[in-house]
Structure 1
């Protein structure tokens, strides 16, 4: 990672940690899920208002490291107002970039590309993916309650 890329990565992470977007609770979520990473203590809850196949609104709460908070904050910006299929595709590309399966320049990530630097720190990949795991679990539920996902050290990212 070049010095300029590293600087951008650090700026983006710090900005979203200081002022996370879409942080807080939805008044009436239709879907929700929590994600926990017991190895570091990160805990994120994602609440959705799904209208048909569209993410009409999304919020998150939790206590987590800067990378987890920044990634989840950016995720909410990226999926809000989009259809569920687009959110799932974006999650797959983001995960593939972080795990080295896809080159950042080839992935349609938009602003999320600035988090590609996380792949240089394998122990932090789960931090960057925790909010995304919670999002996917929330989407997958039938809307009747909330689910919790725990990312363990044995689980592949």
Structure 2
């Protein structure tokens, strides 16, 4: 597959998550709740997670923002569900490395998340892509 075709496929994956977000909504009261925003562009996220036996059993988000921010939140909630806290935090580190254009280990299947790797070429958009991940890190760090 040529680079242009791959780039187009990645754009389609991002737009699909933006237009048809997975895990949109919020969990019941008593769930771990994190609110964050990106003051430079106005993106905001309200992330709720249930953590049971050291695993993220459920994750949902609400928010407003650009297609990259909302698609990233959709992908992130989908990716961390059922994962141990340690694995979810490792995924966040891998994602952060990807956003910085650094090499990252590929020992975890990132699935649709890899569609966001092109964001690294646009430094102003990195904060959009990482907002949901930073919220997840904050919540899970407080949980531990």
TM-score normalised by structure 2 residue count? 0.91
Residues 13 and 112 in structure 2, CA contact (< 8 A), matched pair in contact too: no
**In the alignment, which residue of structure 2 is the partner of 1:50?**
51
Which ranges in structure 2 are unaligned for 5 or more consecutive residues?
none
**In the alignment, which residue of structure 2 is the partner of 1:14?**
15
Mapped to 1, the partners of 2:27 and 2:14 lie a distance apart of 24
Residues 31 and 141 in structure 1, CA contact (< 8 A), matched pair in contact too: no
Which structure has the highest helix share of the two? 2
By relative contact order (CA 8 Å, sep 6+), the higher-ranking structure is 1
Mapped to 2, the partners of 1:35 and 1:22 lie a distance apart of 17
**In the alignment, which residue of structure 2 is the partner of 1:69?**
70
Which ranges in structure 1 are unaligned for 5 or more consecutive residues?
144-157
Matched residues, number: 142
Q: Is residue 2:97 matched to residue 1:96?
A: yes
Q: Deviations over 1:49-91 (max 9, x none)?
A: 0002100100000101000000110001100011111100000
Mapped to 2, the partners of 1:114 and 1:107 lie a distance apart of 17
Note the C-alpha offset of 1:6: 1.5
1:1-157 aligned at under 5 Å gives the runs 2-102=3-103, 106=106, 108=108, 109-142=110-143
Residues 98 and 125 in structure 1, CA contact (< 8 A), matched pair in contact too: yes
> Over aligned residue pairs, what C-alpha RMSD do you find?
1.8
Could you say what secondary structure the match of 1:4 adopts?
helix
Note the C-alpha offset of 1:142: 4.1
